[in-house]
Amino acid sequence: MATLAAERVTLAYLDAPVVHEVSLAVHSGELVGLVGPNGSGKSTLVRALSRVLPPLAGTVTLDGADLYRADSRAVARRVAVVSQEPAAGFGYQVLELALMGRTPHLGRFGLERRRDLEVASRALEATGALQLAERRLVDVSGGERQRVMIARALAQEPELLVLDEPTAHLDLNHQLEIMSLLCTLRDGGLGILAVLHDLNLAAQYCDRMVLLHEGRLLAEGKPAQVITPEHVRRAYGMQVLVKESARGRPYLTVPLPAAAESGGGLRVHLLCGAGTGEGLMRALVARGYRVSAGVLNVEDSDQVAAEALGLERVEEAPFCAIGEEAHARNLELACRAEAIVLTAVPFGQGNLRNLEAALAAARGGLPVWVMAGPPLTQRDFTGGQAQELQGQLLAQGAREVSSEAELAELLEALACGRGG
Other CB atoms within a 10 A radius of the CB of residue 30 amount to 17
In the CATH hierarchy, which fold is given to the domain comprising 267-417? Rossmann fold (3.40.50)
pLDDT digits 0-9 by tens, 362-394 = 998 899 999 988 888 888 888 899 999 999 999
Q: What is the pLDDT of residues 191-211, one digit of tens each?
A: 999 999 889 889 999 999 999
Class for domain 3-252, per CATH? alpha beta
pLDDT at res. 90: 66
Kindly indicate the confidence band of residue 89, based on its pLDDT and cuts at 50, 70 and 90: low
Residue 263: pLDDT band with limits 50, 70, 90: very low
Question: Is 249 a residue whose pLDDT tops 70?
Answer: yes
The pLDDT value recorded for residue 417 is: 67
pLDDT at 171: 73
pLDDT for the residue 309: 85
What local confidence, expressed as pLDDT, does residue 330 receive?
Answer: 94
| Local confidence band at 176 (pLDDT 50, 70, 90 cut-offs) | confident
Cβ within 8 Å of residue 64, ≥6 positions away? 3
pLDDT value of residue 262: 42
CA distance 416 to 420: 5
Please check the confidence at residue 110 and state whether its pLDDT lies above 70: no
- According to DSSP, residue 276 is labeled S
Model confidence at 159: pLDDT above 70? yes
Query: Which has more pLDDT, 31 or 305?
Result: 31
Dihedrals phi, psi of 84, to nearest 5 degrees = -90, -10
Q: Report pLDDT for 109.
A: 62
**According to DSSP H, which parts of 85-139 are helical?**
94-100, 114-126
Share of the chain above pLDDT 70, in %: 94
Q: Does 88 have pLDDT greater than 60? A: no
Q: Where are the domains of the chain?
A: 3-252, 267-417
Look over the chain and give the mean of its residue pLDDT values, rounded to a whole number.
88
Given pLDDT bands bounded at 50, 70 and 90, which one contains residue 258? very low
Q: Is there a common fold for 3-252 and 267-417?
A: yes
Length of the chain: 420
Q: Distance between CA atoms of 398 and 358, rounded to whole angstroms? A: 9
Is the pLDDT reported for residue 231 higher than 90? yes
Interval 322-330 mean pLDDT: 92
The whole-angstrom separation of Cα 271 and Cα 302 is 10
